[in-house]
């Protein structure tokens, strides 16, 4: 469930006090980035992984072997150790489908990095990664990033269901918007009207945070 947005410079937060809140969030987030080793683990190996490539195609090239996936899907490979860490992280509650996707290695490493980043300070409930989501974005003929394992839907933050009145969900969105480039998704759907690159809000995203990435850049 994603609606691509034309990238615009800068960040404008709707609502009174938005700019002050961003300033409050940005400094501690920038000062408390994930260690480089953690990011390196999440974003394992080469920047490209073809989801349709046969298992073992990457053997001997210093990156995880890609799992079979939808034809033509490309994702950033995730280090198996990073996947295993999220599977055992008590701060990240995964639906059965999401857990199976993570265990199968079909989730983009950038998605794992974002979940690990948010889980530093929050508990998360993830409903969908790849399995269980429609192939196409609702009402369009555009293939969803979920279909390629490049997106996550978060339905609760710190035990509070995502909604327009959820302060914890709002804080998580602000942290992603104020964070460093590796943790800023190409798509960030939420109930909040933040005007920033990739951010959007619509009727389909009133009850969850959508974190999505497009294809990785070519090396």
User: Looking at residue 209, what is its pLDDT?
Assistant: 95
Q: Return left, alpha or beta for 139; rule: phi > 0 is left, psi -120 to 50 is alpha, else beta.
A: left
Which pLDDT does position 71 carry in this prediction? 52
Domain spans of the chain, in order of start: 13-53+65-212
Do β-strands 124-128 and 92-94 pair in parallel, antiparallel, or remain unpaired?
A: parallel
CA distance 109 to 79: 7
Q: pLDDT per position in the chain (219 positions), as tens?
A: 555 444 433 444 444 344 344 434 433 433 333 444 444 445 544 444 434 332 222 322 333 333 444 555 778 788 889 899 999 999 999 999 999 999 999 899 999 999 999 999 999 999 999 997 766 777 666 767 888 889 999 999 999 999 999 999 999 999 998 888 777 899 998 999 888 887 888 877 789 999 999 888 765
Neighbouring C-beta atoms of residue 83, cutoff 10 Å: 22
Interatomic CA distance for residues 194 and 48, integer angstroms = 30
Q: From CA 102, how far away is CA 67, in angstroms rounded?
A: 11
User: 209: which strand partners?
Assistant: 154
Tokens of 106: 């079909």
Does this model's pTM top 0.85? My answer is no
Tokens of 39: 């990011």
CA neighbor of 5 nearest in space, from 189, 208, 217: 189
- DSSP assignment of 17-69 equals THHHHHHHHHHHHHHTPPPHHHHHHHB-SSS-EETTSPTTTTTTTTSPPPPP-
Residue with tokens 């980035």: 33
Chain center to CA of 4: 14
Query: Is residue 156 within 8 Å of 162, Cβ to Cβ?
Result: yes
CA–CA separation, 193 and 77 (whole Å) = 32
């Amino acid at each position: 469930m994603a609606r691509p947005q034309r990238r615009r410079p800068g960040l404008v937060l709707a609502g009174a006090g938005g700019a002050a809140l961003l300033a409050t969030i940005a400094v501690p987030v920038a000062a408390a980035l994930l260690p480089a080793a953690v990011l390196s683990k999440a974003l394992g190996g080469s920047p490209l992984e073809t989801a349709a490539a046969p298992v073992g195609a990457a053997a001997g090239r210093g990156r995880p072997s890609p799992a079979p996936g939808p034809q033509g899907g490309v994702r950033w490979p995730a280090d198996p150790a990073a996947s295993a860490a999220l599977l055992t992280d008590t701060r990240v509650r995964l639906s059965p489908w999401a857990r199976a996707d993570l265990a199968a290695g079909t989730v983009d490493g950038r998605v794992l990095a974002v979940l690990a980043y948010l889980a530093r300070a929050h508990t998360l409930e993830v409903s969908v990664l790849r399995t269980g989501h429609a192939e196409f974005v609702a009402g369009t003929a555009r293939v969803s990033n979920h279909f390629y394992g490049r997106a996550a839907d978060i339905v609760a933050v710190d035990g509070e269901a995502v909604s327009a009145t959820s302060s914890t969900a709002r804080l998580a969105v602000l942290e992603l918007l104020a964070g460093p480039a590796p943790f800023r998704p190409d798509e960030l759907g939420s109930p909040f009207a933040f005007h920033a690159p990739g951010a959007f809000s619509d009727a389909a995203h009133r009850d969850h945070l959508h974190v999505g990435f497009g294809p990785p850049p070519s090396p």
